[in-house]
Amino acid sequence: MNKNHERIHADEKNLCKLCMSELDAIYSDLALTEDELEILAMPRRAFIVHFPVKTEAGKTKMFIGYRVQYNDARGPGKGGIRFHPDLTVEHISDLAFLMGLKCAVVNIPFGGAKGGVAVNPKELSRSELELVTRGYIRAIADFIGPFRDIPAPDVYTDEQIMAWILDEYERITRKHSPAVVTGKPVELGGIKTRRYSTALGGIYLLEEAMKERGIEKSGACVAVQGFGHVGENTARILHEEGYRVIAVSDSKGAILNQTGLDIPGVTAHKERTGSVAGFPGTQNISNDQLLACDCDILIPAALSDQLNGSNAGDIKAKIILELANAPTTTEADKIILAKDIMLIPDVLANSGGVVVSYFEWSQNLNNDYWEEEKVLRKLKHTMISAFNDVHALCREHGCRMREAAYRLGVKRILHAERLRGNL
């Protein structure tokens, strides 16, 4: 199996553990009743399906698929579909809960869902990948839909797979239903901005945090750990906006130039060589050196557990924006709080993608097309409103922003259940 495959999956398991430990910590503070805990404790629906696919070798193989709809009090389920050989229904349930929490924090009318197929897509041909995708959708078609549960891309799935999902669902229902899935190609009702919406949503939050901390954009220096899809887009947008991006990294190395990096040049260099390391005019540094470099803003956009008890004390940044999933351990969180560093947690920081998914779903329902300017304006408004809501709770309770975000998400989900008469 591909090592990177294993690494991503392990990181997201850590994400679930961290989130659950954080929620355990605030249950007593929220004074939740037994009835409220009962509502939050288990998913509303969880499906395990088995479906046959005939391989190119002519053999029939059974595949296992999952879909979990954790809570739909605030709206239809929303969550990605991933293809990974080690999926379990327990793991999917944790991720579905996190999606529900994230949607509640940014106040969009979705519940949490997640799903996938236990398969290594690297071992499938393109035609087999399509057959597996269509077989999975045939197996769960009765349980998804524009007003029931809306899938999206996730680990090792992309907009082409979303296009196959859309087509298969429409074949089954014999109806034009673009709102059944988000993250589609633009030609089938998708939104261009979704490809960089996670990065841009995070930057909108960063701008608000800088106002709170009195940091001016002019001259502000940034270090970005990770130069994959999210990290590269973040560094590119910040560079275009006039920030001084002084350090970036990928899985093969990290580079530093205190006067600022030429991000388009770094991108071109990585495309040629396979890594940011060795970019002319820069100093090759270690990952720990990047995290501890002299910068105003640190953006972990790679793996989990990167900021931990052994290195958190060395962080010099004034603001940390978590665009990766769970890059900060609980021990590091406490150290960062003691250092008076503002940390914008992942459950809020990387929610731009699901916000733009909501916009895509909305335009599909109305058979409409939103211009890029409208999408960006509404994304900025949504992200800033969420930041203000979380930060206000943070000040009120004197707690970390992560704890405030979890408080807000839980309270909104329970309020919806109460309005429905379930509590």
The residue behind tokens 């999933």 is 325
Calpha distance 128→134 (Å, rounded) = 10
Closest to 169 measured CA to CA, from 161, 408, 185, 42? 161
Q: What are phi and psi of 30, to 5 degrees?
A: -80, -10
Active site residues: 114
